[in-house]
């Protein structure tokens, strides 16, 4: 499943994932946004892996927010932008 979101005034976020037993699996987050330190991408992906696929957008964004340590930087997107891309990927299955 594939979802994209262009953050207004920012960058593109792309999320690819599988939905297995109503859980997010094999989550990959990419795009032309910037994360510092580089390990932040792994933390964000890990925060999404295994989440309940029926969670609402704000709850998904909260999981991403909690994965971002103090002092880390996310430029060109936001936890909300990533959550939107996740939800779009999940909707792909419904169409």
In the chain the domains, ranked by start, together with CATH numbers, are: 2-92 (3.30.390.50)
pLDDT tens digits, residue range 44-68? 999 999 999 999 999 999 999 999 9
33, 39, 51, 69 from 6: Cα distances, Å: 10, 22, 23, 24
Confidence of residue 92 (pLDDT cuts 50, 70, 90): confident
Question: If you ran DSSP here, which 8-state letter would residue 81 be given?
Answer: H
Task: Tell me the backbone φ, ψ of residue 93, rounded to 5 degrees.
Answer: -65, -30
Select from 1, 4, 5 the least CA-distant residue to 16.
Answer: 1
12 near 31, Cβ under 8 Å? Answer: yes
């Amino acid at each position: 499943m594939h979802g994209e979101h262009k953050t207004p005034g920012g960058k593109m976020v792309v999320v690819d994932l599988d939905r297995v037993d109503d859980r997010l699996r094999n989550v990959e987050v990419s795009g032309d946004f910037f994360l510092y330190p580089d390990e932040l991408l792994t933390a964000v992906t890990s925060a999404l892996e295994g989440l309940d696929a029926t969670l609402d957008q704000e709850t998904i964004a909260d999981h991403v927010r909690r994965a971002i340590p103090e002092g880390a930087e996310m430029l060109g997107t936001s936890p909300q932008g990533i959550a939107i891309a996740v939800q779009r990927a999940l909707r792909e299955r419904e169409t």
